Amino acid sequence: MMLNPGKKNFDVIIVGAGLSGLSAAKVLTAAGFTCQVLEAQGRAGGRVRSAVSEDGCVMEAGAQFLNQDMEALLGLVSEAGLDTVSTVAGNGSIALDASSLIDAAPWLARLEDDWPRLLESVGVDSGRPDQPLAQLIRHATSDAKGIRVLESALGELLCRPPSTTSAQGLLELYTRYASERDDGELQVLGPLDAVIDRLVATLCAPPLYNAPVTEIIEKRNGVEAITPQGNYRAKRVVLAVTPVAAKSIKLPAAVRDKAGAALDSYGAGAIVKISLTYRDAFWRELTEPENRHSIGSIVSLDPEGITVTDASRAGEKIGRLVVFAGGTHGQALARADDSRRRQFAVSIPSRAFGTAADQPLSVTQGIWVQDSWCGGGYNSYINYGGLPDAAARLRAIEGPVVFACSEIAERFPGYMEGALNAGEVVATSIIRELGRI
């Protein structure tokens, strides 16, 4: 069923054409509801964005990895006619100082092993006050080097310094990671943009692009979304945007009362993702200082908040490395020019692997810092001083304006799978509430 393009009255308006919004729209459309997705940017996908490298390879500027437990995403990948491939990275991890190289794996493993104990002793249910994540790290180790490794690794993961982030918020987030598997296990053979196109094709009308929603007004029989392209009415609005982006939308007073403190708990991050390809994964021949494992990742200690991951794929000759620069250094890199970023990205593997890393075949840059619509980082995280249970509070909100985004998903928050889950859950509750099925 095609909708009349001039139509401005719908059952449901969905703000945001990322995976959360498109997944909600798909479920609602399949249930016979009329819905319109309003998207601020000129494209769908949000934090999913495919690119083509200088040597013609499909690269992902945004989200890239998944695992076998991420069933909704795997289903869509298959519907889009794409296959997955295993990531073949070594287990070793090194930390790189200005002058030395150390084995980082024991510190990373220690934090992971300690996670259940930390959850119990200082998590939300412990009854203890929250603390900055930087302090939580010190519960896992008192070794100065270990602290630097973990601060840098978590600074990259959160796209901001651990001192600004709620430890309880992060501990809670990981209770929703519904898998024992590594999150980088698989990659998609082909552009993830095809998954976005596939979702868009299931809707009764394409998203309306370049239509940032600035305000939602509550009306007697529903709600109105205000955009520079006009006003759109519906019985329900789904805010399928990251909490940081939701803060800049003017909400009805009743919604602001319920959601304001939870939204304000989230802070933006900063990430620059630079993918490098090489003739082969020559670093596999190298081992970390203890000489046990081949190197799968590098944690930079100077500057900190930067990691490099081996993203090479099974059955492929070329080698792939991805440099993730988060937080303060990510912000600085976003301001630098292309050649400076390129030089910086290559400098880290060069310091670890030698001059063979100096000449990648291609360098593909994904700069998210300036993208305020998506929050600037992988995800928005809860500030120290915010509400550690902000996600549950946003999920619990019912009524004419509801929230759906990867951050608040019941399963796999912060991942593409989480975004699909959040959209589906919210759509199912709207269907139940509006009583069409």
Which chain residues interact with ligand FAD by CB under 6 A? 15-21, 38-41, 46-48, 62-66, 212-213, 240-242, 245, 249, 271, 273, 366, 368, 373-374, 378-379, 405-406, 414-416, 418-419
- At position 343, the amino acid (one-letter code) is Q
Largest CA distance in the chain: 69
Helix 193-201 vs helix 71-79: crossing angle, to nearest 10: 80
Query: What's the min distance (Å) between Cβ of 144 and ligand FAD?
Result: 30
Q: Which helix (H) or strand (E) holds 234?
A: strand 230-239
Instruction: Using the minimum distance from each CB to ligand FAD, give the nearer residue, 71 or 143.
Output: 71
Helix 19-30 vs helix 193-201: crossing angle, to nearest 10: 30
Name the nearest CA neighbour of 369 among 407, 413, 338, 325. Answer: 325
Instruction: Using the minimum distance from each CB to ligand FAD, give the nearer residue, 103 or 371.
Output: 371
Q: What are phi and psi of 357, to 5 degrees?
A: -85, -5
Query: What's the min distance (Å) between Cβ of 145 and ligand FAD?
Result: 28
Query: What's the min distance (Å) between Cβ of 328 and ligand FAD?
Result: 17
Query: What's the min distance (Å) between Cβ of 117 and ligand FAD?
Result: 27
Query: What's the min distance (Å) between Cβ of 33 and ligand FAD?
Result: 19
The token pair that represents 289 in the structure block: 């200082």
Instruction: Using the minimum distance from each CB to ligand FAD, give the nearer residue, 114 or 410.
Output: 410
Query: What's the min distance (Å) between Cβ of 317 and ligand FAD?
Result: 23
Integer Cα distance of 372 and 392 in angstroms: 24
Query: What's the min distance (Å) between Cβ of 3 and ligand FAD?
Result: 18
Instruction: Using the minimum distance from each CB to ligand FAD, give the nearer residue, 95 or 249.
Output: 249
Instruction: Using the minimum distance from each CB to ligand FAD, give the nearer residue, 16 or 222.
Output: 16
Instruction: Using the minimum distance from each CB to ligand FAD, give the nearer residue, 104 or 322.
Output: 322
Q: Is 245 left (phi over 0), alpha (psi -120 to 50) or beta?
A: alpha
Instruction: Using the minimum distance from each CB to ligand FAD, give the nearer residue, 146 or 413.
Output: 413
Integer Cα distance of 399 and 236 in angstroms: 8
Query: What's the min distance (Å) between Cβ of 245 and ligand FAD?
Result: 4
Strands (E), 349-426: 362-367, 381-382, 401-403
Strands (E), 1-61: 9-15, 35-38, 50-52, 58-60
Query: What's the min distance (Å) between Cβ of 97 and ligand FAD?
Result: 26
> 161, 327 in Cβ contact below 8 A?
yes
Query: What's the min distance (Å) between Cβ of 249 and ligand FAD?
Result: 5
Instruction: Using the minimum distance from each CB to ligand FAD, give the nearer residue, 149 or 420.
Output: 420
Integer Cα distance of 154 and 166 in angstroms: 12
Q: Which helix (H) or strand (E) holds 344?
A: helix 338-353
The torsion of the CA quartet 67, 72, 74, 78, rounded to 10 degrees, works out to 180
Instruction: Using the minimum distance from each CB to ligand FAD, give the nearer residue, 234 or 245.
Output: 245
Integer Cα distance of 33 and 205 in angstroms: 12
**Distances 65 to 58, 74, 198, 395 between C-alpha atoms, Å:** 14, 11, 19, 25
Instruction: Using the minimum distance from each CB to ligand FAD, give the nearer residue, 47 or 160.
Output: 47
